[in-house]
């Protein structure tokens, strides 16, 4: 069997949080194209159902949509129960749900701070923990956590201290889980995208004016596309990455190199 065949995900069962749109949708599509069955997990169930139906139609794999608030342990546990009832096992978890609030630190309310930390860091912990419990019983699995280049640099000109702190926490959480579960065949890695041209970013009244400034600073003078994150996630989900755990993969067009 050649390397391309080995990288297929046929028969694997995967959930993607924040999967209804943006990076989550793009990566879920790639998983499906590689042969995996997919659960689109999102707080926006209408959009999740739309995405799941689109992926199923285009790829012929089994898909479901599950509504879940990743900051709510009961929601996360319920999501896992629904997933296992449908698919019987869990091979890959793409813990991707996240938000950003751009407010100067001196003006940021504790409510705003807590919202970002709860979704971006506690939400990753809860979904990775729930997935890990299943995978440890099964004897293995792969968890991919979405961090950010913002875990490595302080973005400018927009103020986003809570986001930066939360994503740095995701990387350290990823490494910690990888060490704890290494001998039990559960791999945990993180993905740190740079600026990605999702519809949400391109359509944001707050962020759209900043794109030209970001591009001027970027070595490639452009943002990345969601599709440019697909191949690394397919690799991490598959069996060819069996020696890869505890790593953070920066996909940022060299933005963090200076």
Q: Which residues are catalytic?
A: 148, 163, 167
Cα 174 from Cα 148, distance rounded (Å): 13
CB-CB contact of 14 with 93 (8 Å): yes
CB-CB contact of 200 with 21 (8 Å): yes
Q: Give the side-chain half-sphere CA count within 13 A for 173.
A: 26
Neighbours of 171 (CB within 10 A): 20
DSSP 69-130: -TT-HHHHHHHHHHHHHHHS---EEEE---------TTT--HHHHHHHHIIIIIHHHHHHHH
Cα 77 from Cα 127, distance rounded (Å): 9
In angstroms, the first-to-last Cα distance of the chain is 41
CB-CB contact of 52 with 38 (8 Å): yes
Cα 238 from Cα 7, distance rounded (Å): 6
């Amino acid at each position: 069997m050649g390397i391309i065949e080995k990288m297929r995900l046929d028969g694997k069962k995967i959930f993607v949080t924040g999967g209804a749109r943006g990076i989550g949708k793009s990566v879920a599509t790639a998983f499906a194209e590689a042969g995996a069955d997919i659960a689109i997990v999102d707080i926006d169930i209408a959009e999740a159902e739309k995405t799941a139906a689109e992926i199923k139609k285009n790829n012929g794999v089994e898909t479901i949509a599950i509504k879940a608030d990743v900051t709510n342990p009961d929601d996360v546990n319920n999501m896992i129960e629904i997933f296992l009832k449908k698919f019987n096992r869990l091979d890959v978890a793409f813990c991707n749900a996240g938000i950003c609030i751009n407010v100067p630190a001196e003006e940021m309310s504790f409510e705003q701070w807590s919202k970002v930390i709860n979704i971006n860091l506690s939400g990753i912990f809860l979904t990775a923990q729930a997935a890990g419990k299943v995978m440890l019983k099964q004897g293995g699995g792969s968890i991919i956590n979405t961090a950010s280049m913002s875990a490595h640099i302080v973005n400018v000109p927009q103020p986003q201290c809570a986001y930066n702190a939360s994503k740095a926490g995701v990387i350290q959480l990823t490494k910690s889980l990888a060490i704890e579960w290494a001998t039990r065949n559960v791999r945990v890695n993180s993905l740190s995208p740079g600026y990605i041209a999702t519809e949400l970013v391109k359509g944001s009244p707050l962020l759209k004016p900043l794109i030209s400034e970001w591009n001027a600073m970027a070595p490639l003078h452009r943002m990345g596309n969601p599709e440019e994150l697909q191949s690394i996630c397919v690799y991490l989900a598959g069996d060819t990455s069996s020696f890869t755990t505890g790593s953070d993969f920066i996909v940022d067009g060299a933005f963090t190199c200076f």
